[in-house]
Structure formats: structure tokens, C-alpha cells
Chains A and B, each alone.
Chain A
Amino acid sequence: MQDILDILRDYGLLLAVGQFPDGPIGGLALTLILAVTGLTVSFPLSVLIGVGRTSHHPAIAWTCTAFVTLVRALPLLMLIFWAYFVVPLIIGRTVSALTTVICALVVYETAYLAEVVRAAILALPKGQTEASRSLGLSASQTLRDVILPQALFNAIPSILNQFISLVKNTSVAYIISVSELTYSAYQINAQLMTKPLQVYLILAAIYFIICFSLSRLVRLVEKRIDASRKAPVAAGSAA
């Protein structure tokens, strides 16, 4: 126990923010930055792909389905290695490991979130589309004003769950030496040499506290959404 407190005292700051402010930001802060960036960038993409999968246009539906299926069939690590190779080819110059990881996480997350979006769209009663179309709204107006506001609202708990799994997935950045939380712990372990049990228990505990609290939050949100479905007060303000 004393060891754990000592490690936290000596290396707590490194675990929290890395070398910041003297060097690049790292540790838990970088883990959260990776996760938030990943979700922010992949969300709009996943809406496009998720909607595309429900499209009546066979070429669009097929392309989106192929993307989702292919990404889901590959380990995240494989995507990271691909990103290392492909991203510089696309933008014409080498990129940092951090950018590589963000690109891979975004691609991976987009595929999974797109499934969430698609499931939420398909879960809506068919009558919603029929009612909207029978009023004369076009397919895209129906999507924007009737389908997506409901589907995305209903999908909030699943999207948040996806964020939790994203937080966990950022640990894979360790493999290419991005100094997020797992890599920081690994470095500390390498310096101390003799205290792996303590270091990795601390690491596990930090992830646990974050992910567990987030999952509690999701459950709370879920309850609120269920309640608001029975009595929706200002659930949306489209139109």
C-alpha cells in the first residue's frame, strides 16, 4: 500500500498529464483527448455511413455495408498499422504517431457507431417515414426533420457506451509509443523495475474509475430518456 502511495506521489502528475506543461501533454489527459477527439470526428461520419446503410440506392448501401463489415473484421491494431502506411500516402507527408492513432480510432469507431445509428433508424416505426412522405416532405427532409432527431436521441445511451469502449481502445496507442495513460504507466514500470504489481494496479484502477463512473452516467441518462419518452418535454426543437 505504501508503495502505491509513493508511486502516486512521485509519478501522479506524469500519469495525469504527462510532461505537460514542460513537454507534450500525455497520461490520462491525452487518453481523454484521444477519446473525445475520436468520438467528435467519428460521430458525423458514422451518421453518414449509418444512413447510407439504410439507403435504397444499392451502390450507396453496398459501399457503406462493405466499409462497416471490413472494419469490424479487422483488429484495431491492424488499422493502426494501416494508418501508419496509408495516411502519409494520402496527405503526402509523414505524420506523427498521435495523428496515426486518431485516424485509426476514427475509422474503427465510425464503423461501430454507424451500426448504432443504423439500428436506431431501423427501430423507428415505418409509419414515421410514411406519415412524413405522405405530407409531401422529400426523403432528405424526412431524414433530417423526422427520422434522425428521433433516432439519434434514442441512440444517446448506445453512443455513450461506445465512448466508454473508445476510452478503453485508446490504450492500444501504447503499441506505437503514444504517451497516453497506458504508455505512461509502462514507462514508470520500466524506471522502477521492481514494482510492476503496484504500477499496473494503479493503471487498472484509473481506467476502472473512469469507465465505471461513465457507465453509471449512461445508466442515469438511459433512465432520463425512458422517462422523457413517457412524457417528452421539449425532446426536440426541429421544424
Chain B
Amino acid sequence: MIVFDKVEKWYGSFHALKDVCETVAAGEVVVVCGPSGSGKSTLIRTVNRLEPIQGGRIAIDGRDIHGPSIDVNELRSHIGFVFQQFNLFPHLSVARNVMLAPMRVHRMPEKAAREAALALLDKVGLAHKADEFPPRLSGGQQQRVAIARALAMKPPVMLFDEPTSALDPELVGEVLTVMKQLAAEGMTMVCVTHEMGFAREVADRVIFMDAGAVLERAKPEDFFLRPQHPRATKFVSDIRHA
């Protein structure tokens, strides 16, 4: 479904992604991990063109998404993206956060948009917060709203950029529960995360990156028990003892 083909990315003279070749199949859940600065966030940000690439190709269902004929707004509306810092719109109510894109991009009437939003908020367990404003919610609740907001565009694929890293430890679980539920429903997911438990429970595959390159790809249990690459070994031991 998503194919990375020799992807190269530079920030000035810094080589952020080096010859990345990877395939994510429909319905697959892939966890991307690696030390900070390894390029994992950059990698998923290239998928919805939050970052341009300088070489190679990224295709979704065969379409070259960095190609010139791509309508970037249309492309992004088919890719759900969840940020580390939630990035909810603080001036809009929770329901309005979820309704904004369907109303603006799909021209959905307000009433239908609200019904759909309430259904999604119910799914993430926050229907009762629909008319609250984001700053009054806990971090975990905000991230669940952000997931509902991304789901409102009915994307076939969801990208998660360290969705639990900004959360207090006791709030991580509620977000992972929602993500597991999504995985169980067959959503195609690419998640940048260090949550080993999540990876072992739902991921089909783990990709390990360091210094902009993919160094290892493995089934979760193999990766966490028997990492092959020396840097992967060090990384796994580091997060074990963190």
C-alpha cells in the first residue's frame, strides 16, 4: 500500500533519510523505532508531504505522492496523522475540532458532520466532552480527540508520530487502548513509538532506524528478544533500562 523506494532527504547538509526502501501492506501495523534524531519522525512526515524529499519515490496505492500532479490537500485528507503534541485547535470545541475537516474538505453539512463527530468521539470514549474546549482536557484525552479528528476523514491509513511521548505515564494506556482497537479493526498503521508492549501486542513488524537509515526489520518478538544489528542491540537494552 505504501512503498518507499530509495528515499533520500536532506536538511541543508544534514542527511536525514538515506536510501530508505520499505513496503507497508494494507492492514499492516508497522512500528518504527530508533534513537532520537534517527529520522523516524521525518520518515512518516514525508508520507503526507509535511516534509519534501530530495530523491527516490514514495507511492501510495501506486501513486507517486511527491509527483507534480498530486493535489496535496486531497492526498492528506486520505492519510490520518497524529502528532506527539496533539495539536488540537484550542479555539474550537472538541466536536468542532473533529468536524472541521469533513465540513471544509468534504463539504459535509454541519448536522451530518456533528453526528459523525459524536460517533467518533464515542468510539474514543469522549462523547461527553464534545462541547468542552481542548485546553480543559488531560493530555490523554486530547490525544484521543486528535485520533478521532484524524479518523473523521475516514483515512485508509493512519500515521502516529510518538503519540504517547508527551503524556504522563498514567495517561499512556488510554491512548494505546484506542490505537489497539484501531489495529484490531484492520486499519493500516505506521507508528513511531517506543512502546514495546504495544509493538509486541499489535505490530506485525518493527523497523529500526538509526542515522537516517533502516538498519533492521523484524517481527516484534524477534526484534525485542534477539536484535541483530549492534546498534539495535544497544537501543533495545537502553529502552529496557530506561
A binds B: yes
Interface centre among A131, A133, A149 (most CB of B within 10 A): A131
Across chains A and B, the number of contacting residue pairs, with CB separation under 8 Å, is 88
Known contacts A133-B50, A135-B105, A230-B135: A236-B81 contact under CB 8 Å: no
Question: Which B residues are CB-close (under 8 A) to A136?
Answer: 73-78, 101, 105, 153
Stretch with Cβ within 8 A of B (4 or more), from A3-11, A60-68, A82-90, A137-145 = A137-145
B207 at the interface (CB under 8 A from A): no
* A-contacting residues, B101-118, CB 8 Å: 101, 103-105
Cα distance, A24 to B137, chains bound together (Å) = 57
Q: How far is the CB of A228 from chain B (nearest CB, A)?
A: 9
Q: Select A127's contact among B77, B85, B99, beta carbons within 8 Å.
A: B85
Task: Give Cα A233 to B135, complex, Å.
Answer: 10
Per the bound structure, the CA–CA distance linking A239 and B103 in Å amounts to 7
Would you call B235 an interface residue if the criterion is a C-beta within 8 Å of the partner chain's C-beta atoms?
no
Residue of A nearest to B89 (CB): A146
Binding site for B on A (CB under 8 A): 125, 127-128, 130-138, 141, 145-146, 149-150, 153, 229-233, 235-236, 238-239
Question: Which listed segment binds A: B2-10, B13-21, B90-98, B175-183?
Answer: B90-98
Given A133-B76, A229-B135, A239 contacting B99 (CB threshold 8 A): yes
Whether B135 and A134, one on each chain, are in contact in the complex, defined by CB atoms closer than 8 angstroms, is no
Contact B91 A137 (CB under 8 A): no
Task: Report how many residues on chain B are interfacial, defined by Cβ distance under 8 Å.
Answer: 32
Partner of B76, one of A134, A145, A146: A134
Give the distance in Å from the alpha carbon of A236 to the alpha carbon of B90 in the complex: 9
Question: For the complex, is B150 an interface residue (Cβ under 8 Å from A)?
Answer: yes
Q: Assuming A135-B77, A136-B73, is B133 touching A128 (CB within 8 A)? A: no
Bound-state CA distance A231–B90 (Å) is 10
Residues in B neighbouring A125, C-beta threshold 8 A: 85, 87
State whether A238 touches B83 (Cβ < 8 A).
no
When the two chains form their complex, are residues B73 and A138 in contact, meaning their CB atoms are under 8 A apart? yes
Nearest-neighbor residue (CB-CB) of A229 within chain B: B135
Q: Are B87 and A135 in contact (CB under 8 A)?
A: no
Taken together as a complex, chains A and B put the C-alpha atoms of A229 and B134 apart, in Å, by 11
B residues near A231, Cβ cutoff 8 Å: 133, 135-136
Interface presence of B59 (CB below 8 A) = no
Instruction: Give 11 pairs: A residue, B residue, CB < 8 Å, sorted on A.
Output: A132-B100, A133-B73, A134-B79, A135-B101, A135-B149, A135-B153, A136-B153, A141-B105, A150-B89, A231-B133, A235-B91
Q: How far is the CA of A146 from the CA of B89 in the complex (A)?
A: 7
**B48 in the interface (beta carbon within 8 A):** yes
Q: Indicate if the CB atoms of B77 and A128 lie closer than 8 Å.
A: no
Most buried by B among A131, A132, A135, A150: A135
Whether A134 contacts B90 by the Cβ 8 Å rule is no
Residue of B nearest to A151 (CB): B91
